[in-house]
Amino acid sequence: MPCVDTWLRAWLEEDLGRGDLTAPALLGRHGRAHWLAKQAGIFCGGPLVAPLFRLLDPEMELELLVAEGQPVIPGQQLLRLQGQAAALVAGERTALNLAMHLSGIATATAALVQELEGCGVRLVDTRKTTPGLRLLEKYAVRCGGGGNHRLGLDDAAMLKENHIAWAGGIAAAVAAVRASAPWPAQVIVEAETTTEAEAAIAAGADGVLLDEFKPQQLIELVPRLRALALQRGRPVVLEASGIQPEQLRAYGSTGIDLISTSAPITRSPWLDLSMRFEASP
Amino acid sequence: MPCVDTWLRAWLEEDLGRGDLTAPALLGRHGRAHWLAKQAGIFCGGPLVAPLFRLLDPEMELELLVAEGQPVIPGQQLLRLQGQAAALVAGERTALNLAMHLSGIATATAALVQELEGCGVRLVDTRKTTPGLRLLEKYAVRCGGGGNHRLGLDDAAMLKENHIAWAGGIAAAVAAVRASAPWPAQVIVEAETTTEAEAAIAAGADGVLLDEFKPQQLIELVPRLRALALQRGRPVVLEASGIQPEQLRAYGSTGIDLISTSAPITRSPWLDLSMRFEASP
Amino acid sequence: MPCVDTWLRAWLEEDLGRGDLTAPALLGRHGRAHWLAKQAGIFCGGPLVAPLFRLLDPEMELELLVAEGQPVIPGQQLLRLQGQAAALVAGERTALNLAMHLSGIATATAALVQELEGCGVRLVDTRKTTPGLRLLEKYAVRCGGGGNHRLGLDDAAMLKENHIAWAGGIAAAVAAVRASAPWPAQVIVEAETTTEAEAAIAAGADGVLLDEFKPQQLIELVPRLRALALQRGRPVVLEASGIQPEQLRAYGSTGIDLISTSAPITRSPWLDLSMRFEASP
Amino acid sequence: MPCVDTWLRAWLEEDLGRGDLTAPALLGRHGRAHWLAKQAGIFCGGPLVAPLFRLLDPEMELELLVAEGQPVIPGQQLLRLQGQAAALVAGERTALNLAMHLSGIATATAALVQELEGCGVRLVDTRKTTPGLRLLEKYAVRCGGGGNHRLGLDDAAMLKENHIAWAGGIAAAVAAVRASAPWPAQVIVEAETTTEAEAAIAAGADGVLLDEFKPQQLIELVPRLRALALQRGRPVVLEASGIQPEQLRAYGSTGIDLISTSAPITRSPWLDLSMRFEASP
Amino acid sequence: MPCVDTWLRAWLEEDLGRGDLTAPALLGRHGRAHWLAKQAGIFCGGPLVAPLFRLLDPEMELELLVAEGQPVIPGQQLLRLQGQAAALVAGERTALNLAMHLSGIATATAALVQELEGCGVRLVDTRKTTPGLRLLEKYAVRCGGGGNHRLGLDDAAMLKENHIAWAGGIAAAVAAVRASAPWPAQVIVEAETTTEAEAAIAAGADGVLLDEFKPQQLIELVPRLRALALQRGRPVVLEASGIQPEQLRAYGSTGIDLISTSAPITRSPWLDLSMRFEASP
Amino acid sequence: MPCVDTWLRAWLEEDLGRGDLTAPALLGRHGRAHWLAKQAGIFCGGPLVAPLFRLLDPEMELELLVAEGQPVIPGQQLLRLQGQAAALVAGERTALNLAMHLSGIATATAALVQELEGCGVRLVDTRKTTPGLRLLEKYAVRCGGGGNHRLGLDDAAMLKENHIAWAGGIAAAVAAVRASAPWPAQVIVEAETTTEAEAAIAAGADGVLLDEFKPQQLIELVPRLRALALQRGRPVVLEASGIQPEQLRAYGSTGIDLISTSAPITRSPWLDLSMRFEASP
């Protein structure tokens, strides 16, 4: 995440505006604080806390007590901080907002991943991410045990209904993209019917996204699609989407490779964490 | 929101990366699309959609069918778009992500505000906001009928336990901030006990945040604090926080002025919206 | 002042352009220098000098000999520097420009503040500030013993003649702003007549700016406004503006709370300071 | 001035912060306004006003009534504006701050230039400029009839006492800079004694800055330096600095080419201008 | 290329610095100009010329006479421009520099692609690109008939000798990357020996880069690798690199899929183009 | 080069995009590497390598083995690196791209400069530089023993055919520029005929660019122009351009001061360098 410092600075400035009005009352003081979990969940975002506070106080000391992606219980200490009081106060909210949001995503992901345990299917995210936070939210999904789908419109091509209509069919759409894309770019086709799925494989798609198929349909369809792909000497990645959390397990045993879902990002509450200041040393 | 164009551009670039791989297949085509609500809720973010798509196609035409902050029902059309196919595809996800997130917040806010209807208490947000989205999330709270607390550390001073400890008491802390802050800046004190609340008023605080008091305590305390303030010829704004959604109504009748809660921002799922492409003209 | 490093970098680049042409002649050399006051006044900007030179030479050593906001006399040493010769030369002009400008403002402020000594009235600045330098100029005003008015259009609302005309009266204008502003935002009304001032208080304004009233008028008006405010259980901050420096004292004894003036920023000459290089060590 | 739009945007954001709190009260309204001079002086900055307001309202109409660099009298209308009320209010202060500051510089410059009228000497500025405003302040000097010295450390080399000491003499310093600088870069030497001035010419300097010489000394020195330069087949530009405004005329008749002074930028009050809103159409 | 406007602005500012010194002599004038090819080659960069000049004069009219990627002959007109004289002069050099550089790359690519005609092998570029120009240089390669390899370190993983050593073997390295990368990311292994190439296929690599193999070796190796891949039910992309231009054809008939070469970017001279001003209308 | 860190960061981000996919396989490891020359030439860019890698690993250790602008032979070690493996891999390509490009320019410059040895003529570059790299490319020219012409449109004025036509003649054009330019800015006139060259001198030009004159013409013309300049008491810099590399020597003995050529920048191949990882410590 090469730009993370730039983001942290911008987020601090969002909260600080023209400067913390209470800073003059804290000048010259030093303090200690720690973070507590107030809920059970998966902790995520810990490695961002030190760089954030060091933008405010380059001498800030921080000890992480919980490794990234690990479960925490209510009351558990997560990290310890020591440095300028004005920096502790100025960074508190931004750092917590970030970690609570990411930990909420990791926690929700872990719950879904556990649901699929033993199925041999990988749970992956989508491009439904909060504007400005995609890389970090996708990182939180990995911390929760999930995998990532493409990171943006530029690192794999997904052809949807409208692309296909405009290009004049699946084969034409796949060919148009292959002609201009870098060779390592995968081409995925979104299919809503069996016919579309078969046409995608015939057109040489690297992946097929099977949208809103029922588990029963997939149980029948998946082996047929794999056989078709085999005939063409080219394996295909099969992905199911449009699935409610409670149906995950049913889909997990259909033989597909991936289940993609936006739920851990779009439907998860923040994990409740707080920062406690300690009696001055 | 003076920077909104800068943000929209950055969010588009987050999704586009080095460019949409499917764009060459769409070059030169035009299309139409509309947005649908897939859930009931409050629509928010509509006015951001046109500027976002116009960064991709300055000629994009957009007709908003729902006013900001209005309720929508499943299946309802929200807006209509017409322009370059490549721009419609490139902007779709970012625009929806933004509107779904903001509409989720507005919807959750409206539910809480309705809970308080008739109490004469204003529901306001906090500084628990997603990094990078504070102004827009606070705008969504207003669209849902809530009010805003301070926007950052620079436009009002809130003195917490640690400020008070470092400054050597409430009176000293208030005085230190007043001495350096611009005169219109309000000074608010967070109180966890009755004694602290009274000391805050004695120190001339403009507002007192009564954190995790029980409704019964407030019913007794609020009039006493108001009387104290009156004696000093200076009214005080009384705010309650740390309240679970199901208790809102109980707090609403304690005589306080404000209830602050982060729930609409930290615990709301996105509102489900989608974009449908239409048969080409 | 969270962005100060960004500003310092931009200001250095303004002077350096594509690079100091004399730098190659200085490469590898180290030097010492000190700053001298060439005029009496209040020194301001000292804490900015080290961060500025460290952008050019991270090892630059700097010893501040005068505390911020303290008076200096002609010939007095202000600070001592030691580091790369190329950095000393490249930063000299920008650092001096900044400190001379800010010290000029602090000096002019201190003169006016002294004029008001013992009156119990606070001298505050306005939004008439040099583009790009508002936070630093307002800081210089504080160093000179003055106070700050609002920092921008977003941290308090001042309703002027035109707002009132467009909104349809003072009460309507105040109500419109209160409805959308964050609750801690103060609402101030600019009044040019006694009637307007009274209407402002009736409308619940937090402050009234009494523009271009004469001292005699204020002596009669101020107690009346305070009584009106008291009746409504809500104190009001009374501010006078449009005052010539030579009349300050007359206004100081009218009972108002604040006198706002742009003079220290818009009419002050720079304080003359210079940097002297010392014989090489 | 290629970056002027970037600057205008940053300056507006400095005043707007998170947004004008009074904007909601103005939404949807249009208005008219004009600018008035409240003092006599030289108007400068007019061409910046339209681009500034158009960042807030792209449809803003503006009619300039006074050409850049022209004298104005108290009460004179300078320009007329028509557009969104919220944009008029949001841009007013920033636009006036800029124009008042620049007009103050142009006015002060014009007074000094008039002093020198008929002397055949050009008045030029220095690098003592307000951080962030150099190009505009130097533009204001031109509007007031002055000329510009170098714009930064990169477009001409000025060798001062310390350069000379570090390089081991004037000849060595000039040679070191010539060896690395682009060929069109002029090399100027600052001289405080006659000997230094002669050495500068002997070293092939393109210009000599004669610092704090008395008029009598210059009358004798200037022809001697010109003769020396002629012998070497290379004319030299002779510049005097360190001059009090009241001595300008005395220096004007010494035969030098340029007088450089920072006074119009470091010692000029802003020119008083104001914006008046008109009864709505 | 979403950021192209930002780049064009930065490149103009690189040449303009504090502003074209000749601009005042051109103010208010309009002119016409055209571009001429002075050498035969492939024209590339045409669509960038209008946006570049419109940053200087939004009314600039431009007619492109040659389509992107088309051959041109000496003396051929490439495009025609009409607009403000100051804008024509200010943009000339930057626009030509860009188009001459890109056209040089397209021309060199086309020569190599022609060499390979009929071989069924695709010529692709590498990550050896001029800092700051990667997307445009890769675009120029496509204009010359070549294809693109990955665009950066983030859109496909290439495992080299050192990755393999650190990870403890090819299989471990491939597994480590697959575990964390988004699923559509291809994993390519660079092989310098037959054993390594076979191990890469056994490890499930999507592509194998055969570095500095001789044509004879490849003729024997390629079918063996393909058979191995077929056994594993997973096709592999075979790429040869480290090839001198004169050997291209020999490699073209070895059965590989891709030849990657940096030569069109690192070894191509600019194509000579010039801009001619026409007698004023 | 004040912005060099900003550039290095942007160039790294161009290659890294959303992050090196192989980084997770390298986490926690350290490594050593060195750079080798694979061709003979002049090494340039060495001092940029450490700052570039330190953006990725602040603890990266680097030992430069070859001074800037020195010749290197095939197989020679250029520098040694030690630090985090992930940083070595992430920075490798960008650092090499930069140094190979700059070394190619220095190498090509040195060859031309050697051609002119003993002529007393200085070889200088032009404004034909790769967009975004001007300062570094001009620095590479200096490393190769050449000199720099003006750095941009703002630090000297060159009047060409079209300026002269628009201004109504050479004298008018020179006068117009002198009137508005800072006094140290040189004015150069491009002449294509003897008459134009003489007119330029008569108009007081500081330099005359003699474009596409033949050596024979120059041998006759140069002394005449110098005499003319001498009569006017003002030396002139005479520059020849439009010269093929093979004619350099012929031009070198015509008495001109400068030969300007873009060839080292527009026609030089990169110098082949590579980075070798060493067996882990």
Tell me, yes or no, whether A8 and A98 share the same domain. yes
Phi, psi (degrees; rounded to nearest 5) at C178: -55, -35
- Alpha-helical regions (H) of E37-193: 46-54, 85-115, 134-143, 161-167, 170-180
CB of D122 within 8 Å of a chain F CB? The answer is yes
For the segment A111-140, what is each residue's pLDDT rounded down to a tens digit? 999 999 999 999 999 999 999 999 999 999
What's the CA gap between F216 and F206, in Å, rounded?
A: 24
Q: What percent of chain C has pLDDT over 70?
A: 98
What residues of chain C, 87 to 116, have a C-beta less than 8 Å from chain B? Answer: none
Which of B61, B57, B52, B41 lies closest to B101 in space, CA to CA?
B41
Q: Is the pLDDT of residue E153 over 70?
A: yes
Query: Do D12 and B2 make contact, defined as CB atoms within 8 angstroms?
Result: yes
Tell me, yes or no, whether A107 and A167 share the same domain. no
Give pLDDT, residue D265: 98
Q: Is the pLDDT of residue F281 over 60?
A: no
Tell me, yes or no, whether A16 and A50 share the same domain. yes
Residue E27 lies in a domain: yes
Give the max Cα distance, chain E. Answer: 74
Six-digit token string for E138:
């890769």
Which of E76, E81, E95 lies closest to E15 in space, CA to CA?
E95
Which of D168, D242, D253 lies closest to D209 in space, CA to CA?
D242
Nearest CA in chain E to A260: E183
Tell me, yes or no, whether E244 and E272 share the same domain. no
User: Nearest CA to CA, how far is B56 from chain E (Å)?
Assistant: 9
CB of D28 within 8 Å of a chain A CB? The answer is no
Chains that touch E (3 or more CB pairs under 8 A): A, B, C, D, F
Tell me, yes or no, whether A249 and A272 share the same domain. no
Give pLDDT, residue F2: 59
Tell me, yes or no, whether E272 and E232 share the same domain. no
Helix pair angle (D134-143, D85-115), 10° resolution: 60
Q: What residues of chain F lie within 8 A of the CB of A155, using their CB?
A: 18
Tell me, yes or no, whether D108 and D189 share the same domain. no
- From first to last of its 281 residues, chain B has per-residue pLDDT tens of 557 999 999 999 999 999 999 998 898 899 999 999 999 999 999 999 999 999 999 999 999 999 999 999 999 999 999 999 999 999 999 999 999 999 999 999 999 999 999 999 999 999 999 999 999 999 999 999 999 999 999 999 999 999 999 999 999 999 999 999 999 999 999 999 999 999 999 999 999 999 999 999 999 999 999 999 989 888 899 999 999 888 999 999 999 999 999 999 999 999 999 999 996 54
- Alpha-helical regions (H) of A168-214: 170-180, 194-202
Within 10 A of E241 (CB to CB), how many other CB atoms are there?
19
Give pLDDT, residue B234: 85
User: Nearest CA to CA, how far is B235 from chain A (Å)?
Assistant: 22
What's the CA gap between D34 and D51, in Å, rounded?
A: 16
Six-digit token string for A2:
């090469």
Q: What residues of chain D lie within 8 A of the CB of F156, using their CB?
A: 182, 184
CB of E26 within 8 Å of a chain F CB? The answer is yes
E40: left (phi over 0), alpha (psi -120 to 50) or beta: beta
Tell me, yes or no, whether F105 and F19 share the same domain. yes
Q: Determine whether E212 is exposed, middle or buried from the number of CB atoms within 10 Å of its CB (0-12, 13-18, 19+).
A: exposed
Six-digit token string for F214:
């033949």
For tokens 């936006």, name the residue.
Answer: A262
Which of E170, E209, E218, E167 lies closest to E190 in space, CA to CA?
E209
Q: What residues of chain C lie within 8 A of the CB of D157, using their CB?
A: 21-22
**pLDDT bucket at E121, cuts 50 / 70 / 90:** very high
Which of A97, A93, A134 lies closest to B266 in space, CA to CA?
A97
Contacts (Cβ under 8 Å, ≥6 apart) of A104: A41, A268, A269, A270, A271, B266
What's the CA gap between F75 and F95, in Å, rounded?
A: 19
Q: How large is the C-alpha radius of gyration of chain E?
A: 23
* D41 within 8 A of D106, measured Cβ to Cβ: yes
Six-digit token string for B46:
């509509």
Catalytic site residue E138? no
Tell me, yes or no, whether D6 and D97 share the same domain. yes
**pLDDT bucket at D224, cuts 50 / 70 / 90:** very high
Residue C54 lies in a domain: yes
Tell me, yes or no, whether A164 and A67 share the same domain. no
Between chain A and chain C, how many beta carbons pairs sit less than 8 Å apart?
A: 12
Six-digit token string for C102:
């800010």
Give pLDDT, residue A281: 45
3-state secondary structure of E107: helix
Tell me what the mean pLDDT of segment C83-91 comes to: 97
Contacts (Cβ under 8 Å, ≥6 apart) of A154: B16, B17, B18, B19, B20, B21, E151, E155
Q: Is the pLDDT of residue A29 over 50?
A: yes
What's the CA gap between A211 and A260, in Å, rounded?
A: 10
Contacts (Cβ under 8 Å, ≥6 apart) of C216: none
For residues E46, E51, E57, E62, the Cα torsion angle rounded to the nearest 10 degrees is 40
Give the max Cα distance, chain A. Answer: 74
**pLDDT bucket at D281, cuts 50 / 70 / 90:** very low
- Alpha-helical regions (H) of chain D: 4-16, 46-54, 85-115, 134-143, 161-167, 170-180, 194-202, 215-231, 248-252, 263-266
Residue F65 lies in a domain: yes
Six-digit token string for A168:
């004049």
CATH number of the domain that residue D162 is part of: 3.20.20.70
Tell me, yes or no, whether D24 and D94 share the same domain. yes
Give pLDDT, residue D25: 87
For tokens 């950055």, name the residue.
Answer: B10
What's the CA gap between B235 and B254, in Å, rounded?
A: 17
Tell me what the mean pLDDT of segment F164-181 comes to: 94
Tell me what the mean pLDDT of segment C210-224 comes to: 96
Query: Do D19 and B3 make contact, defined as CB atoms within 8 angstroms?
Result: no
For the segment D58-100, what is each residue's pLDDT rounded down to a tens digit? 999 999 999 999 999 999 999 999 999 999 999 999 999 999 9
Tell me what the mean pLDDT of segment D231-242 comes to: 92
Catalytic site residue D93? yes
Query: Do B237 and C156 make contact, defined as CB atoms within 8 angstroms?
Result: no
What's the CA gap between B18 and B9, in Å, rounded?
A: 14
Catalytic site residue F160? yes
Within 10 A of A255 (CB to CB), how many other CB atoms are there?
17
For residues C200, C205, C209, C210, the Cα torsion angle rounded to the nearest 10 degrees is 30
Within 10 A of A260 (CB to CB), how many other CB atoms are there?
23
Q: Is the pLDDT of residue A51 over 80?
A: yes
Give pLDDT, residue A144: 98
Q: Is the pLDDT of residue E243 over 70?
A: yes
Residue D126 lies in a domain: no
- Alpha-helical regions (H) of chain C: 4-16, 46-54, 85-115, 134-143, 161-167, 170-180, 194-202, 215-231, 248-252, 263-266
CB of F132 within 8 Å of a chain C CB? The answer is no
Six-digit token string for F229:
């300049």
What's the CA gap between E257 and E149, in Å, rounded?
A: 12
The β-bridge partners of D240 are D210, D259
* Count of residues in chain A: 281
Query: Do E19 and D3 make contact, defined as CB atoms within 8 angstroms?
Result: no
Q: How large is the C-alpha radius of gyration of chain D?
A: 23
* Count of residues in chain F: 281
Give pLDDT, residue A116: 96
Tell me, yes or no, whether B99 and B162 share the same domain. no
Number of domains comprising chain B:
2
Active-site residues of B, by number, are 93, 128, 160, 190, 211
Helix pair angle (C215-231, C194-202), 10° resolution: 20
CATH number of the domain that residue D73 is part of: 3.90.1170.20
Disruptive mutation site among B8, B56, B166, B241 for chain A (greatest number of A CBs within 10 Å) = B166
Mean pLDDT, chain E, rounded, equals 95
* B141 within 8 A of A8, measured Cβ to Cβ: no
Residue F210 belongs to what domain range? 156-261
Between chain B and chain F, how many beta carbons pairs sit less than 8 Å apart?
A: 3
What's the CA gap between A224 and A198, in Å, rounded?
A: 9
For the segment F66-97, what is each residue's pLDDT rounded down to a tens digit? 999 999 999 999 999 999 999 999 999 999 99
Tell me what the mean pLDDT of segment F189-193 comes to: 97
How far lies E115's CA from each of B40, B41, E248, in Å?
Answer: 62, 62, 7
Catalytic site residue D38? no
Catalytic site residue E211? yes
CB of A17 within 8 Å of a chain D CB? The answer is yes
Tell me what the mean pLDDT of segment C228-256 comes to: 93
More reliable by pLDDT, C233 or E50: E50
Single out the catalytic residue among F29, F128, F214, F276: F128
Query: Do B3 and D12 make contact, defined as CB atoms within 8 angstroms?
Result: no
Tell me what the mean pLDDT of segment D42-50 comes to: 98
Tell me what the mean pLDDT of segment F233-254 comes to: 93
What's the CA gap between D55 and D95, in Å, rounded?
A: 12
What's the CA gap between A78 and A37, in Å, rounded?
A: 7
Residue F143 lies in a domain: no
In this structure, the strands spanning C61-64 and C77-84 are antiparallel
Residue A132 lies in a domain: no
For the segment A152-168, what is each residue's pLDDT rounded down to a tens digit? 999 999 999 999 999 99
Residue A198 lies in a domain: yes
Q: How far apart are the first and last CA of chain D?
A: 36
3-state secondary structure of C128: coil
What's the CA gap between E189 and E192, in Å, rounded?
A: 10
What's the CA gap between B256 and B269, in Å, rounded?
A: 29
Give pLDDT, residue F212: 94
What residues of chain D, 259 to 278, have a C-beta less than 8 Å from chain E? Answer: none
What's the CA gap between F28 and F85, in Å, rounded?
A: 8
The angle formed by the CA atoms of residues F182, F188 and F192, to the nearest 5 degrees, is: 160
Residue C139 lies in a domain: no
